[in-house]
Structure 1
Amino acid sequence: MTSSETLGNKRIQKTFLAVAFRTVRIIPVFALPALLVCCAPADQVNMMERKINSLSVENRSLVNQLNALKLDIATLKKETREEGKQSISSIRSRQAELASRMDEIQAELLRLNGLIEQINYERGREKETALHSSQAIQSEIKKLREEVRLLQASTKVSRKVEQARKKAASGKLDLYQQALDLIKARKYKQAKKVLRAYIDRHPSGDRLPNAYFWLGECEYNLKHYEEAILEYLKVIDKFPKSNKVPDAMLKQGLAFIKLGDNVSAEIILQKIVDKYPKSFQARVAKKQLERLR
């Protein structure tokens, strides 16, 4: 018997006890009229009859209540049985659900255990691989550090070389610029000394053709035309691809004119016209040739 059925039986027993108690109160009512008529005075008889009528009404009401209680008891028994069945069915369904869930949980645990074992195995392999990789990386780091050290040493040397080169270049520019400044100031003798110092210090400098040309200019302005012709000739012979060659040829021709050697002057000026026909130097050479002819 389930707990629900036991509870229903207890409720039924309580209901029957209450009905029995009321029934005991009802039974003496049927004997009261004869008893009261024989023993009571007339005025009391009327009062008794009223009470009897009232009790009769109450009795019928109690009978109706008793019938209603019987119906309620029958209904309660039915509901109790159905409730018990429903409770048992619900419990069994819940137990089935729990059992199914337990099976699912156990299966999930087995799967997770398998994954954990696999992960541990792979972790061991990865750990071993990581160890080898770490050793290889450390070896590479040592090599890189050594390369960095060598590069730093090389950089220091390169920096010193670059500083020396810049210093040398600065010296070149200083001497060359000093010479130009002196020429602008028409201090040709001093400019000659500076230019020769520049040429001696930098015999393969980039500005060497210009230095020889300006050296010729100093001689020309000092009216040392023969020396000027020789300096211009150095530009023409040593640096034939220099942009100073047309200027050197023109000034060489003018120097020959100053010396009165018009034949040599015409030869050089004609070369300028033939070799550089569209240049500024060619236009000046043509004018000089017209004057000479």
Structure 2
Amino acid sequence: MRRAMAAASLVALLLPAAMPAGAGVFDDTEARKEIMRIRDAYGQRLDRLEAGSQAQLELSNQLESMKSEIAKLRGQVEVLTYKLDSIEKRQKDFYVDLDNRLRQIETRAQPAAAKPVDPAAEARDYQAALDLLKAGKYAEAGEGFEKFTQAYPASSFLPSANFWAGSAWYQAREVARAGDYYRKVETQWPDDARAPDALLGLANSQQAMGDVKGARSSLEALVSRYPESSAAQMAKQRLGKK
């Protein structure tokens, strides 16, 4: 209705100008043709304008929808990042707590040392290296544990120190050095509680060095030797076993 009224108004305005000079009035047929031509031209222009407005409206709606989706995705990423950080922190706290418990057991079970050592210094040096690892200073922690193994070769903490040295060097991207320490744990102390995790760490180090065959061999050895360990369950998943 609005378009028809607008067209009629325009026709009324333009009709006198469309008459040839000196003419009186159009005959009825010519007038009708001219009116229809003007109305059609005006209607087509209105159609184009309305189509353009509709396209702009749809584009605006799409942009708003995309903004909303991006905001949702950003929120999901933040939640997942927080969860991952929490998992990593809990895992680190778990290993540190396990280490402290094992240290207590190893201390009680240790026989008399051939050479007298300062227990306070031994505990202090070990804890200093462990604190560096907890603080994320991986290269410094690796050096600290290496020095500890050299300074206290008969220490009951030796399996732990070698395991943490491997972990520190792996985090520092020194995967070859990490592999050496992990291998040392699983060969020299196969009955230690960390031996399964050491084999898993060795496989990770070998994988990082591109030794796919060696990594698979270590994973298979882990499943075979320590089938009930949590590390073995992870190895099974990587090997595609149930």
**How does the TM-score come out when normalised to structure 2?**
0.49
Larger Rg, first or second structure (1 or 2)? 1
**How does the TM-score come out when normalised to structure 1?**
0.41
